[in-house]
A and B are shown apart, each in its own frame.
Chain A
Amino acid sequence: MLKRVLRSNEFVVLLIIIALSLVVGSINPTFFTIASLFDLIRASNVYIILAFALLPVVILGGVDISFVAISAVASYGTHMLLITRGYEGGLFLYFVIGCLIGALAGMLNGFIITKFDLQIFDVSLATQTMWYGFTLFFIGATSNFDMPDGVVGYYSSFITQVSNETTGVTGLHVSIIYVIVIGIFLWWFLKYTMIGRGIYAIGGDKDVAERTGFNIKKITMVVFIIMGVLSGFAGIVQSALSRNFNPTLFIGQNLDVLASVILGGAAIKGGRGTVIGTVLGVILTQIIRRALVLTHIPSEWQKFVVGIILIIFTVIPALNEKRRKNQGRTTDLVEAMEEA
């Protein structure tokens, strides 16, 4: 059991996070302050929820790029709907309507994919273009900075606060509660429900899963409803945090989120991926970003460094896979026998 934990992908990512933190912290001690930690958590939260939205799709064996557009249409659509009617309440109604729009948009993806027997990636291309175009043309093309009274203070609604003479007052933002609740739900769903196991089965081998009796259409549909709901939710949290609702929210960031999910150990070909790994993948991405700032690498070179890190992270698993294939998978067999 312990051996399995130590060998797991998540553990490796955790080690890298710790090592990287130590290096950055020794160069710039501000990295090790509570304020810095809270800030890291706040910046990560939205992207963790977005990564949660994408995770089931990746496990299913597909790549979706439309979830960012669903975030945009759900959050911006909800906001314009409510603000033009003089709504002054809190975020709760935002979440209800936003998640509903997200669920419907996700269902559209799922419906087209299952009904017309198409690739997830191809359909998501169409819907991502369509939803951004729809939002910009039919709802509005400019960012809206009007906030209902109930949402105004959301930016600084902290669970606990710390104050620091250099950074001022910061705190642990309430959005971490969402991450924990959604994370636990998704973990339970993927691990202990029949549909959750079906997602892994389809990702591993679709034909086998179908013959085993999994309802592929139903499972695909559920995956996309989850994706839609979580995307809409993340869009609203992000907009409320940044205090403006934007029709091109998250545009161009779909591939970054995908990279985080992959860094967290999910297999791009499907069948593998965990909630913990995804959380660690996003945190790793955020730490790398911070590390580049704190170690004073010029900002214009940061993307280059991120690219090099990405190459390393994609080459290592590929080489491992190659070695396993060359050995005829005997290592897997030996491992399985040892554990048995």
Chain B
Amino acid sequence: MKKIFGKNPQSLGRIKFDRHTLLLLIIFVVVMAFFSVVNSDKGFISGRSLTSMGLQLSEIGILAIAMMVTSLVGGINLSIVAVANLGSVISGYFLFLNYPPEVAVGTTATFTNIKMPDDPSTWVLVISLVIPLVIGILSGILNGYLVGYVGVPPILATLATMSVFTGLSAGITGGRTITGFPEQFSVVANETVVGIPIPFILFIFLTAITFVILNHTTLGFKMRMVGTNDTASEFSGINNKAVIMKTYIMSGVLASIAGLIIMSRTMSAAYEYGSTTYVLLTILIGVLAGIQSGFGNVLNIFVSMLILQALSTGFQMLLQTVRGSTFFKDFSWGVLLIIIFVINYLVRQKKTGVKKSSGQ
């Protein structure tokens, strides 16, 4: 094992199924077992149901990874959803400039929809897919600069940039939802490969890449060091600012990929899609996954996402005749998080045997 994974096995090298991963896996199995029994007549474990679950969880899952990498360096990125939307909006604007809808002579078209021709230029399509990624990188540079170089507390810096990015999208679209994206884009969200939705494959792929970056590269090692103790890392020769910058760029790119999936699924772009609910949800996933500054495993994000989706779909099926059944999932997520807090506390106490002081 040691030879396969990295040069320094003692440093976070091997795949470690830590205690928290185990706890999450147990919870996942319990949740799945529970719902497959109580929802057995409604087909909880059917191909169709699993496919739809895989599709739904992917975009939030990728956003949760975008949030997680910043948590790892002791930060937070509230702007991820705003970046995802801004990428789609600018991409839509580019398509609109190339293919504006037809209007009466003498008037200019307003940016409300795109009129795709039957044979669009491949270059235009490719560029419109690259634009969101560029937006993601630029947003990362701005966030990384504010947090790393200026020293603004991450929660404030990204709260401000969230407002800027959302505001830019709102300004460009005039508050409207942009429709008419090319048919070719819908492939991503609507096709499956051997029954697995493409977004879910993307989610697995990005989880794997993030895992490799975090556990098998120097950047990942430095990120953990900065998150654990930034003074110590500074004095051991790590360029904290550059590491923070790279982390936020990574976060921005991941967010923009989630934006592409959203664009492909809804075939539209809007400044307010998801808004703050999605942001808070991704933080919740991080907390559920036990991500802390300097510590955390991206596999836990993956399993946490599976649990949340199972709870959401499961309760919706179970309570489908009850009024307001969609809201029960929020309640169950909050309760689950508190249960995990308590279990972790009990395990920790049993292990150390020492009662620690209260805290925040």
Contacts and interface: CB of A to CB of B under 8 A. Distances in A.
Interface of A: 60-63, 65, 112-120, 122-123, 125-134, 136-138, 140-141, 206, 210, 216-217, 220, 251-252, 254-255, 258-259, 262, 268-269, 298-308, 310-311, 313-315, 318-319, 321-322
Interface string B277-309: 100110110010000000000000000000000
Contacts of B277: 251-252
A117 B331 contact: no
B327 A301 contact: no
A311 B280 CA distance: 21
A119 B358 contact: no
Contacts of A251: 277
Given A298-B171, A310-B164, 4 more contacts: A117-B358, A126-B287, A133-B328, A307-B162
* Overall SS of chain A's interface: helix
B170 A118 contact: no
12 contacts: A113-B358, A114-B358, A117-B358, A118-B360, A122-B341, A137-B330, A137-B331, A301-B171, A307-B164, A311-B157, A315-B150, A315-B152
B222 to A, nearest CB: 22
Contact of B167 (A113, A141, A307): A307
Interface string B329-357: 11111110110011011000000000011
Interface size class of B (residues with CB under 8 A): 35 or more
Given A131-B334, A304-B170, A119 B360 contact: yes
B151 interface: yes
A116 B346 CA distance: 8
B328 A137 contact: yes
Contacts of A133: 327-334
Given A125-B280, A137-B331, A308 B360 contact: no
B330 A129 contact: yes
Interface in B217-263: none
Nearest to B171: A301
Contacts of B344: 116
Given A137-B328, A252-B275, A307-B164, A65 B338 contact: no
A316 to B, nearest CB: 10
B207 interface: no
Given A127-B334, A210-B357, A304-B170, A116 B156 contact: no
Listed residue (A112, A117, A315, A319) with the most chain B CB atoms within 10 angstroms of its CB: A117
B116 interface: no
Listed residue (B78, B150, B281, B324) with the most chain A CB atoms within 10 angstroms of its CB: B324
